[in-house]
Amino acid sequence: MQFERQSGVFLHLTSLPGPHGIGDLGSGARAFVDFLDRADQSLWQFCPLGPTASIHGNSPYQSSSAFAGNPLLIDLRDLVDRGYLTADEVEPPGDFSQQQVNYDRVTEFTERRLRTAYENFDESAAEADRNAFAEFCEREAGWVDDYALFTALKTEFDDAGWMDWPDDIRTREPAAMERYQEELADDIRYHKFVQWCFDSQWEALAEYAAERDIGLVGDLPIYVGLDSADVWAYPEVFRLDDDHYPAEVAGVPPNPGDDGQRWGNPVYDWETLRANDYGWWVDRFERLFDLVDIARIDHFKGFDEFWSIPAEADDPAAGQWRDGPGAHFFETVRDRLGELPFFVEDLGFLDESIVALRDQFGFPGMRVPQYADWCEEGHMYQPMHYPESAVGYTSTHDTDTIVGYYRGLSDRQRDCLHYNLGTDGDEINWDLIEAVWNSNAVVAMTTMQDLLGLGSDARFNVPGTATGNWQWRVTDAALDADVAERLRRVTDRTIR
């Protein structure tokens, strides 16, 4: 077991306190690290960090890049300190909410100021900043060159998906690449500047957390968005046809009670990847571990086997199971990168082959009490039955809060829960936090919403819905010293 017995809190970056309508990498992030430090926590977990788009409901799981950072997370006040903006320019308007993110409003406000910051950087940046920017562009050229060109082209073509661009640039013909790189040179450089700002601010935040012995837990969606720099720049990595359109897309098959799901992400060409020692994936992991200490692999099942649907089919039932890369993939990556500090999302897919793959590499799986049958003796999602090789979560970004879940239980399940936990449910959030913390799971995680005892109105995401997600924020005042002290006592008592 490569992990120590420890615990932490999930809070996505967009949910942090801050003056500009969304969480950022500035003082609100440091305030949360201080909260974790007071609570004696050793882990901070969050969603993927990539750029998001309103067309995808601002989901961090549908990003335009598996490598880039989200520009909306940049701390504008830091750009004032650097001399790229004035204090007046970052004065927040009165209509920004401290409780909810209005992505359209935030995007409009932030992008204008990032453009101004870039212009001022271009005109008057100190030599040290210019050198740091140049060093970043050289060091990260493997992904930032394609991402910056891709993003500039999106603007050039009125935000159309790359599949609808002119054929020459859609298929990256050399003459077209050279022409657009020249025509869009300033816009390309702007997007590199934005990524440099994100990267330097992230490095400072990660150092602040490390000084307090708090590890950062990132998230790795197995698939990338179709309309992404990754698919456009690396068509050979995916199962595309000769014209670079998807031949097959990802999803899950029908199960009793549902019709399955067609996600639409292009699936990987694992044979080609294997022939190249999974080079694109190694690059992806290297970038991820430049940013975080541990990563949660979303949909781990896809590395064992994956449901592949013909692109022209709308019905998920038209798909078939295909073999994933399996152990060879993780062995190859481990040979290149060393130890692989992964948690894996294995919810709902616990067949023999995925368990064997997970356990071969010692990756802890996930256990969530909201999936428990409280009236079934020994049910695997009851905290008292978690194995050591597990990460126990009170709730996740995709589930209801504990309080919301509890309110929706049937009378019978609620009575069985009371019996199993020895509680009357008056503080059900702390009852379940204590149960998960007291379990054998090597890592215990809760959410900020659960620490505050919030109901379903504070839920972060409802899977399968396109609007109203990823908006909840915590306020400065809610990072309460009494809450931190109570979590510290639970952590001390359960030896985490």
**pLDDT for the residue 238:** 98
d(CA 213, CA 224): 31
**Both structure tokens of 357:** 């793959």
pLDDT band at 107 (very low <50, low <70, confident <90, very high): very high
d(CA 221, CA 65): 11
If 0-12 CB within 10 Å is exposed, 13-18 middle and 19+ buried, where does residue 468 land? Answer: exposed
Strand order in the sheet with 305-310: 261-266, 248-252, 305-310, 320-323
- The yes-or-no answer on residue 377 being catalytic is no
**pLDDT for the residue 2:** 81
In the predicted structure, residue 443 carries a pLDDT above the cut 80: yes
pLDDT digits (tens, 9 = 90+) for 378-415: 999 999 999 999 999 999 999 999 999 999 999 999 99
Beta-bridge partners for 307: 251, 321
Residue (of 158, 14, 92) closest to 448 by Cα position:
14
pTM over 0.95, yes/no: yes
**Both structure tokens of 6:** 């420890």
- The yes-or-no answer on residue 277 being catalytic is no
Per annotation, catalytic residue among 89, 129, 398, 415: 398
Beta-bridge partners for 251: 262, 307
Three-class SS of the chain: CCCCCEEEEECCHHHCCCCCCCCCCCHHHHHHHHHHHHCCCCEEECCCCCCCCHHHCCCCCCCCCCCCCCHHHCCHHHHHHCCCCCCHHHCCCCCCCCCECCHHHHHHHHHHHHHHHHHHHHHHCCHHHHHHHHHHHHHCHHHHHHHHHHHHHHHHCCCCCHHHCCHHHHCCCHHHHHHHHHHCHHHHHHHHHHHHHHHHHHHHHHHHHHHCCCEEEEEEECCCCCCCHHHHHCHHHECECCCCCECEEEEECCECCECCEEEEEECECHHHHHHCCCHHHHHHHHHHHHHCCEEEEECCHHHHEEEEEECCCCCHHHCEEEECCHHHHHHHHHHHHCCCCEEECCCCCCCHHHHHHHHHCCCCEEECHHHCCCCCCCCCCCHHHCCCCEEEECCCCCCCCHHHHHHCCCHHHHHHHHHHHCCCCCCHHHHHHHHHHHCCCCEEEEEHHHHCCCCHHHCCCCCCCCCCCCCECCCCCCCCHHHHHHHHHHHHHCCC
**pLDDT for the residue 1:** 60
Per annotation, catalytic residue among 187, 345, 400, 431: 345
End-to-end CA distance of the chain: 15
The whole-number average pLDDT for the span 328-349 is 94
Residue (of 277, 214, 179, 164) closest to 32 by Cα position:
214
Task: Name every residue whose Cβ is closer than 8 Å to that of residue 281 and which is 6 or more positions away in sequence.
Answer: 273, 329, 333
Task: Name every residue whose Cβ is closer than 8 Å to that of residue 22 and which is 6 or more positions away in sequence.
Answer: 14, 72, 73, 101, 103, 106, 110, 473
pLDDT digits (tens, 9 = 90+) for 50-84: 999 988 899 999 999 999 999 999 999 999 999 99
Task: Name every residue whose Cβ is closer than 8 Å to that of residue 306 and which is 6 or more positions away in sequence.
Answer: 250, 267, 321, 322, 324
pLDDT digits (tens, 9 = 90+) for 220-240: 999 999 999 999 999 999 999
Average pLDDT, the chain: 96
149, amino acid identity:
L
- The yes-or-no answer on residue 415 being catalytic is no
Strand order in the sheet with 215-221: 342-344, 294-298, 215-221, 43-45, 6-10, 443-447, 390-393, 365-367
- Which percentage of the chain shows pLDDT scores above 90? 95
The whole-number average pLDDT for the span 249-270 is 92
Per annotation, catalytic residue among 298, 346, 400, 450: 298
**pLDDT for the residue 466:** 83
Beta-bridge partners for 367: 392
